[in-house]
Amino acid sequence: MANDKKMVEDITSMDVDFAQWYTDIVKKADLIDYSSVKGCMIIRPYGYAIWENIQKILDARFKETGHENVYMPLFIPESLLNREKDHVEGFAPEVAWVTHGGSEPLTERMCVRPTSETLFCEHYANIIKSYRDLPKLYNQWCNVVRWEKTTRPFLRSREFLWQEGHTMHATAEEAEEETLRMLGVYADFYEHELCIPVVKGRKTDKEKFAGAIATYTVEALMHDGKALQGGTSHNFGDGFARAFDIKFLDRDNTLKNPFQTSWGVTTRMIGAIIMAHGDDNGLVLPPAVAPIQVMIVPVQMHKEGVLDAARSVRDKLKDKFRVRIDESDRSPGWKFAEYEMKGVPLRLEMGPRDIEQGQCVIVRRDNREKYFVPLDELEAKIPEILAEYSAALYKDAFERRANMTYTCTELDDFIETAKNKPGFIRAMWCGDEACEIKMKELADVTSRCMPFGEEPCGDRCICCGKPATKLVYWGKAY
Amino acid sequence: MANDKKMVEDITSMDVDFAQWYTDIVKKADLIDYSSVKGCMIIRPYGYAIWENIQKILDARFKETGHENVYMPLFIPESLLNREKDHVEGFAPEVAWVTHGGSEPLTERMCVRPTSETLFCEHYANIIKSYRDLPKLYNQWCNVVRWEKTTRPFLRSREFLWQEGHTMHATAEEAEEETLRMLGVYADFYEHELCIPVVKGRKTDKEKFAGAIATYTVEALMHDGKALQGGTSHNFGDGFARAFDIKFLDRDNTLKNPFQTSWGVTTRMIGAIIMAHGDDNGLVLPPAVAPIQVMIVPVQMHKEGVLDAARSVRDKLKDKFRVRIDESDRSPGWKFAEYEMKGVPLRLEMGPRDIEQGQCVIVRRDNREKYFVPLDELEAKIPEILAEYSAALYKDAFERRANMTYTCTELDDFIETAKNKPGFIRAMWCGDEACEIKMKELADVTSRCMPFGEEPCGDRCICCGKPATKLVYWGKAY
């Protein structure tokens, strides 16, 4: 049992130092490793398997909604990046520049893609000629690079993995519909697969994507009360289409610019999972994306029949669940701690006495429920337990968020709340960017989003006191 | 019918200009597009879907053989690339260099990975401590960059997609076993899924990978008689492990360097498919990786009941096959030509008379067989037809290769054959690199591989006449 203790002691408690707790988990749950490539991460098998599960579910949803995958070049020539003014201003300061191929200097330097709007637009200009070519619903899974000064694994790294959807439509209405549809896909994924509640809403102009006319976002709240932007969906109107001279012959025989969207989520999602569900024993994974859903730990493994029984359970379950068995000679206690650290949703214990009684013990990662399950009912019972567990994870996160969401109508109260109570603050805003900047100065918060479907909580701007119609979620953010 | 003709006329015949035929197919089958990023390609949805199918099958095989996926950084610091001497000499001349992050010059320039041995080694040095940590069986799906001077879509482009397996083993024997096991996975994939016969063998030292002690290859023969290196598997011995100071404490309590392999296949496979199976009507896809396996073309579509019947067939088949229906108002003839161009394995035609008789017509892409299939037997019959078709594709390619493989025992005959008869030439070699270089000068061929399991065809080197024990496949190569 000495081993178990050591393991647990190795993680900093989140109340003592949240940042260190996070770093401990990404390392000790074997999610990442560092390398001599500063600001980039090595995603280790256990971390990458989470990403593969995320990809698999989202990719299926994208395809169900009519999208096709493509692959664009890694590089963007400087002149191409420069084509849309707002966009280049947003990204140029943080791109990596390739200047040489082999020993020869390039005639034009190229950046490593920070995002691929410009490449998609150049391609769309080639392939869109008629209304018959629309909509174009493309997506790409790839790596992108943004030269961040301060980096943290998953949350902000110089290279990260993501998907970027880029679509073109005949009308502004269709583009807006698509933008919101994909935001809906993200929100649904967060809530139903990752068990993380999100606030869906629109970004203020100050916070929107470089070149977009509207950016929508899903915002999640982490354990420490900081917000995390979970995914964004942008409506570009026809701005890029004009800059890139993309035109189609419409039904009415006139040439028009199509309307465009883009939307993306990244490996940052793994950071969100860690900080929304994790605890002082380690990672806590939602079943939908857990690389191992059920870990079988044989107890008194060397007694006759135990290992055979455990293997036969594994074989029975392996086509339906991601199940493993730990046959190593570590103690059961060590294994319990290890798979808690790794956030495995269910631990299935089997000892000689259990086997005699034709049952096993299933313990949830949150240690709130323990189930004695007859071996011949496992296939039916495990999905129920996983569903209960997912619901519990969501409920916990939902209640935590509710307890950390404040509504303020007075500036003093806002500043006091922002200072002492981590979380979201709901407050009205007049729409003036000056007030947003001032709130940052006064309370060190940014506007996270203007939520959909929530009633105003007043009629005056929290900052300037002028008439206000916009409800805003404010917070400190990752 | 004017449309059909136009379509077919648009492709250059492969006998007239093979290179142009290839270029026509990649463009007209919508596999790729060009962009302002010179030497890189845009992989369009139809091309990318082929790659996704390749990935899906291979990834499952890698996992079945115990491999795990990881993700390494895109960049390699120059000092890291320089750690293994042969390796850096092989790659440094063709890497893209990143010199600036935003507006600031980097303190050390970094290349965009041309391959990731160095990154894997640095990581392995961190995580391998004991024999208990071995073997490490990692794989990565990613993009890599090599600054090629002359490029061709799929075959040689500055950026391409691939997988790179990198494994570490306690003994030299295990590493050699792994190297050959993965070569076997590639050979099996080529032959059984892509229907392309390959010669498995070992590369000469001149042709082996930079830093490897042995490189194994699968070599395929294209329609024009040129060879294509289909995939390679490398045994590194402990050379990299020494250069990167990777050590493990073995069972006998001594520190040892582990033994290493790497192996990879790339989007080049799509080029192999085009050039091994394609014809003057376009692409010819093996069913295992075809994005659409069955294309339903309704005939006299606007007659009552035709479209409904076609849709009900689609719905019945869609969970078992990749099936589509073309409901556009193009003529059936136009559609026939279009899906021939796109290499769809089976075309399923249904007109009013067929429907009356409760049947449909299935035509294979090679137009050699036409099947009248009762609608209620489709689910059982299609797998049979696909299997027959796959076998026919393989047989064609196998016979073509047999007809284009020559055995030479005299130098004059070799030179004459190399000049006039495209294909493989089998001939003996003494093992001296000077003879390899001379064969290139005399006959413009390179050694493709020393095949496994074939009898020598003589006992003298084709070049110098000295005693020789090595049989070599020679050829011109992509």
Q: What is the pLDDT of residues A114-149, one digit of tens each?
A: 999 999 999 999 999 999 999 999 999 999 999 999
Residue B319 has phi, psi (to 5 degrees) of -80, -15
What CA–CA distance (Å, rounded) separates B234 from B237? Answer: 9
- Sign of the torsion formed by the C-alpha atoms of A365, A371, A375 and A377: negative
Gap from B128 CA to chain A (nearest CA, Å): 13
Q: Which spans in B160-267 are helix H?
A: 172-188, 239-243
Looking at the complex, does the CB of residue B123 fall below 8 Å from at least one CB of chain A? yes
Strands B446-451 and B470-475: antiparallel
Cis peptide before A135 (omega within 30 of 0): yes
User: What does the pLDDT average to over A283-309?
Assistant: 96
Gap from B274 CA to chain A (nearest CA, Å): 19
pLDDT tens digits along B186-236: 999 999 999 999 999 999 999 999 889 999 999 999 999 999 999 999 999
The minimal CB distance from B45 to the residues A51, A70, A80 is found for: A70
User: Which residues from chain A sit within 8 angstroms of residue B126, using beta carbons?
Assistant: 33
The minimal CB distance from B70 to the residues A36, A45, A97 is found for: A45
Residue A325 in this model has a pLDDT that exceeds 60: yes
Q: In the beta sheet, which residues pair with residue B236?
A: none
Q: Which residue has the higher pLDDT, A83 or B260?
A: B260
Looking at the complex, does the CB of residue B121 fall below 8 Å from at least one CB of chain A? no
Q: In the beta sheet, which residues pair with residue B165?
A: B139, B263
pLDDT value of position A9: 54
- Sign of the torsion formed by the C-alpha atoms of B333, B337, B339 and B343: positive
User: Which residues from chain A sit within 8 angstroms of residue B117, using beta carbons?
Assistant: none
What CA–CA distance (Å, rounded) separates B284 from B274? Answer: 7
Q: Are A375 and A357 in contact (CB under 8 A)?
A: no
- Distances, alpha carbon B157 to alpha carbons A75, A338, B268, in Å: 13, 45, 9
Looking at the complex, does the CB of residue B40 fall below 8 Å from at least one CB of chain A? yes
What CA–CA distance (Å, rounded) separates B238 from B390? Answer: 41
Whats the size of chain A, residue-wise? 478
Residue B38 in this model has a pLDDT that exceeds 80: yes
What CA–CA distance (Å, rounded) separates A34 from A39? Answer: 9
Angle between helices A378-403 and A268-277 (to 10 degrees): 80
Q: Do residue B45 and residue A138 have CB atoms under 8 angstroms apart? A: yes
Query: How many CB contacts within 8 angstroms connect chain A with chain B?
Result: 148
pLDDT value of position B85: 83
What CA–CA distance (Å, rounded) separates B471 from B459? Answer: 9
- Distances, alpha carbon A271 to alpha carbons A187, A264, A397, in Å: 16, 16, 15
Looking at the complex, does the CB of residue A35 fall below 8 Å from at least one CB of chain B? yes
Residue B163 in this model has a pLDDT that exceeds 60: yes
Q: Are A211 and A463 in contact (CB under 8 A)?
A: no
pLDDT value of position B5: 47
Tokens of A34: 């560092």
What CA–CA distance (Å, rounded) separates B354 from B327? Answer: 17
What CA–CA distance (Å, rounded) separates A351 from A15? Answer: 36
Element (H, E) at B237: strand B227-237
User: What does the pLDDT average to over A147-157?
Assistant: 95
pLDDT value of position A210: 86
Proportion of chain A above pLDDT 90, given as a percent: 94
Strands A255-256 and B405-407: unpaired
Mean pLDDT of chain A: 96
Q: Place A3 in a pLDDT band, splitting at 50, 70 and 90.
A: very low
Residue A1 in this model has a pLDDT that exceeds 50: no
pLDDT tens digits along B405-420: 999 999 999 999 999 9
Q: Place A91 in a pLDDT band, splitting at 50, 70 and 90.
A: confident
The residue of chain A with its CA nearest to that of B103 is: A93
Amino acid code (one letter) for B324:
R
Q: Are B270 and B369 in contact (CB under 8 A)?
A: no
Interface test with A, best of B35, B79, B95 (most A CBs within 10 A): B35
User: Which residues from chain A sit within 8 angstroms of residue B45, using beta carbons?
Assistant: 68-70, 138
Element (H, E) at A311: helix A306-317
- Give the largest CA-CA distance in chain A: 81
| A346: three-class secondary structure by DSSP | strand
User: Quick one: CA torsion of B403, B154, B48, B181, rounded to 10 degrees?
Assistant: 60
Measured distance between the N- and C-terminal CA atoms of chain A, rounded to whole angstroms: 37
- Is the ipTM reported for this complex over the cut 0.90? yes
User: Which residues from chain B sit within 8 angstroms of residue A73, using beta carbons?
Assistant: 35, 37, 40-42, 159
Beta strands, E only, B238-352: 248-249, 255-256, 259-266, 294-298, 323-325, 346-350
What CA–CA distance (Å, rounded) separates A234 from A253? Answer: 29
pLDDT tens digits along B443-459: 999 999 999 999 999 99
Q: Which residue has the tokens 């590639």?
A: B186
pLDDT value of position A413: 98
Looking at the complex, does the CB of residue A40 fall below 8 Å from at least one CB of chain B? yes
Could you count the other beta carbons within 10 Å of the beta carbon of residue A179? 28
| B217: three-class secondary structure by DSSP | strand
Looking at the complex, does the CB of residue B60 fall below 8 Å from at least one CB of chain A? no
pLDDT tens digits along B58-111: 999 999 999 999 999 999 999 999 998 888 888 888 999 999 999 999 999 999
pLDDT value of position B2: 41
User: What does the pLDDT average to over A429-449?
Assistant: 97
Measured distance between the N- and C-terminal CA atoms of chain B, rounded to whole angstroms: 37
pLDDT value of position B9: 54
Q: Lowest-confidence range among A320-324, B3-7, B34-38, B376-380?
A: B3-7
Mean pLDDT of chain B: 96
Domains and CATH numbers, chain A: 2-277 (3.30.930.10), 294-399 (3.40.50.800), 405-475 (3.30.110.30)
pLDDT value of position B84: 83
- Sign of the torsion formed by the C-alpha atoms of A200, A206, A207 and A213: positive
The residue of chain A with its CA nearest to that of B40 is: A73
pLDDT tens digits along B349-383: 999 999 999 999 999 999 888 999 999 999 999 99
Q: Do residue B43 and residue A93 have CB atoms under 8 angstroms apart? A: no
pLDDT tens digits along A164-200: 999 999 999 999 999 999 999 999 999 999 999 999 9
Beta strands, E only, A153-226: 159-169, 199-202, 214-221
Smallest CA-to-CA distance from A40 within A143, A175, A120 is with: A143
- B residues 145-174 lying closer than 8 A (beta carbon) to A: 145, 147, 158-159, 161
Could you count the other beta carbons within 10 Å of the beta carbon of residue A371? 17
Proportion of chain B above pLDDT 70, given as a percent: 98
